A and B are shown apart, each in its own frame.
Chain A
């Protein structure tokens, strides 16, 4: 079976062409959903085969039980050579490792990968090269049929009598289901797997997309969605970076009415949001929207009238789940509406500012959030490259050195987001602008008290602190590729060296 792999090399694109797409399932209004209560009956009813492509979503994050449940049943039937298109892989998905080894699964396509599966992939356990996409790129590749899904298995927090799916109801409500909407619209077969049958209006996914509903005891645990840090960082260096970033936003004139804002879920990003909130209150400004993965900090800003709208692709905590249910201006959006490059009215294109982390950045401002310095896959883009492209100002926040690991390197181990999409790097030592913004950097240096520095100056300080590092070697085999949001090839990821 030939596998999906991006080949066209990445090149910067100023404007994308609009996507021409028609919802082929919307006419299926008389369509009857098949109800099942047994996994084996479901597998019998599906037309399964070796080499098929199946998909899952990660809205239950590390609390997801659906992927393991389905994969174990499929593996037991002896199917081989599957491509698993999972929006993200978490530590809970460890059973997949054995299925890579016995070739049940021979490729994984995901936007984020961590834990034992990521380790196995980095160690060369997967037969074909895996593809690491962005959230927007995943929606694009499915809607534009670069990737054709044979069966989408959708962890469904609740289903109603028609077979509509909702993320907001049921005993494991997890909120927005943004990442699975493309799968539901395009997959040849769609199975909703749910533990709660309740009535609701305004579904996340309409019954016209759903072929079967399988009722199970439990789809997992919604408490597993809480990820990253929910506490404000206590690290003084982190707090300093957050203060510097908000002062910078103010100096750039961005703390204004109509602000559109997104931030990552890391500790420093969260601190930026908290300090921005104080600044917005002080200046009495109201932002237009915040988007992306939604946390309690943003819910509070909506409820206090500091943002008019929240556009939510996934909920990062249970406060966000609750808010989506009760606040009319807290909207659930699809990954395509969020970040598909060919959906031109997407939310990321409307962003003024995005605040993001980095595990590595080079002097040109290429950023890596995919691998560690030892080539171990640790995560992936998620929406990093999508928001960086879309936002007017994409700002990377990180300590310059953390536990002797410098963030600023000569060459990033993997390019997750290309230099063309990154504007500013804020660290505990100062603020550096991309080369194309040097005139502005010079003006700010003269007219404000902001510590404006160059990437070269930062690199010098960093090397003085850490010393000169040895080059880390890798194996020659490519175990995964980093795909840009438009389907082009950004970088390859090598197998990590054995014996470490």
Chain B
């Protein structure tokens, strides 16, 4: 899949996250993660995002995730929605 336009999903409420995706042409995958639990779970958050990107076979995207303590299934749902909206 190719990210062809900017898209967002999610909220900044507690237990949720806000995902922004932008086309990144041929510059690969750029991730920016900000989380209230970065020290504890930053590694898992990144893993979850990368799994979704792989599932959608995305090679070029600039993705920002602003996390307010979302669990993995929420992160997955928000990233997927943002990607579906970016087509």
Q: Which chain A residues have a beta carbon within 8 Å of chain B's beta carbons?
A: 373-374, 401-405, 465-470, 472, 500
B57-74 interface bits toward A, Cβ cutoff 8 Å, 1 = contact, 0 = none? 000000000001111100
CB of B41 within 8 A of CB of A403, answer no
Contacts A405-B69, A465-B71, A470-B39 known; list 6 others, CB within 8 Å: A402-B15, A403-B37, A404-B40, A469-B40, A469-B41, A472-B39
**B39 touching A404 by the CB < 8 A rule?**
no
Residues of B within 8 A of A467 (CB): 41, 44, 72
Q: Hey, what's the 0/1 contact readout for B3-23 against A, CB within 8 Å counting as 1? A: 000000000001100000000
Give the residues in chain A near B14, CB-CB below 8 Å: 402-403
Nearest-CB distance from B19 to chain A (Å)? Answer: 16
Asked whether B77 is an interface residue with its Cβ less than 8 Å from the other chain, the reply is: no
B: residues with CB less than 8 A from A are 14-15, 36-37, 39-44, 68-72
Cβ contact within 8 Å between B43 and A404 = no
B40 close to A472 (CB less than 8 A): yes
Given the complex of chains A and B, what is the CA–CA distance between A402 and B3 in angstroms?
A: 33
Partner of B70, one of A404, A469, A470, A472: A404
> Which one of B39, B44, B72 contacts A500 once the chains associate, using CB atoms below 8 Å?
B39
**Chain B residues with Cβ under 8 A from A465's Cβ?**
71
Which listed residue, A374, A401, A402, A468, touches B39 by the CB 8 Å rule? A374
Question: CB-CB < 8 A to A468: which residues of B?
Answer: 44
A140 to chain B, nearest CB (A): 37
What is the CB-to-nearest-CB distance from A409 to chain B, in angstroms, rounded to a whole number?
A: 10
CA of A149 to CA of B53, assembled, Å: 63
A432→B20 CA distance, assembly (Å): 41
Identify the closest chain A residue to B37 (Cβ).
A404
- Contact status B68-A403, CB under 8 Å: yes
Q: Are A403 and B39 in contact (CB under 8 A)?
A: no
Across the interface, do A470 and B36 meet the contact criterion of CB distance under 8 Å? no
Is A466 a contact partner of B71 (Cβ separation < 8 A)?
Answer: yes
In whole angstroms, what is the CA distance A492 to B78 when docked? 41
Question: In the complex, which of the residues A403, A468, A500 has the most CB atoms of chain B within 10 Å of its own CB atom?
Answer: A403
CB distance from A208 to the nearest CB of B (A): 52
- Shortest distance in angstroms between B75's beta carbon and chain A's nearest beta carbon? 10
The verdict on A403 contacting B43 (CB below 8 Å), with A465-B71, A466-B71, A467-B72 known, is no
* CB–CB A470/B40 < 8 A: yes
Q: Specify the chain A residue showing the minimal Cβ separation from B17.
A: A404
Residue pair B36, A403 in contact (C-beta under 8 Å):
yes
Bound Cα distance A374, B36 (Å): 11
Q: Are B15 and A466 in contact (CB under 8 A)?
A: no
Q: Which residues of A contact B70 (CB under 8 A)?
A: 404
Complex Cα spacing A469 to B41, Å: 6
> Which residue on B lies nearest to A472, using beta carbons?
B39
B44: chain A residues at CB < 8 Å are 467-468
Q: B69 CB to closest chain A CB, in angstroms?
A: 3
- In the complex, the 10 A-B pairs of residues with the closest C-beta atoms, listed nearest first: A403-B69, A404-B69, A469-B40, A467-B44, A403-B14, A404-B37, A403-B15, A472-B39, A465-B71, A470-B40
Interchain CA distance A468-B15 in the complex, whole Å = 17
Query: Which residues of chain A are near B69, meaning CB under 8 Å?
Result: 402-405
Contacts of B41 in A (CB 8 A): 404, 466-467, 469-470
A441 nearest CB across to chain B (Å): 28
8 CB-based A-B contacts, threshold 8 Å: A402-B69, A403-B14, A403-B15, A405-B36, A405-B37, A405-B69, A469-B41, A472-B40
The residues of A that contact B39 with a CB separation of less than 8 Å are 373-374, 470, 472, 500
**CB neighbours of B36 from chain A (8 A):** 403-405
Q: A374 contacts which chain B residues (CB < 8 A)?
A: 39
A residues near B42, Cβ cutoff 8 Å: 470
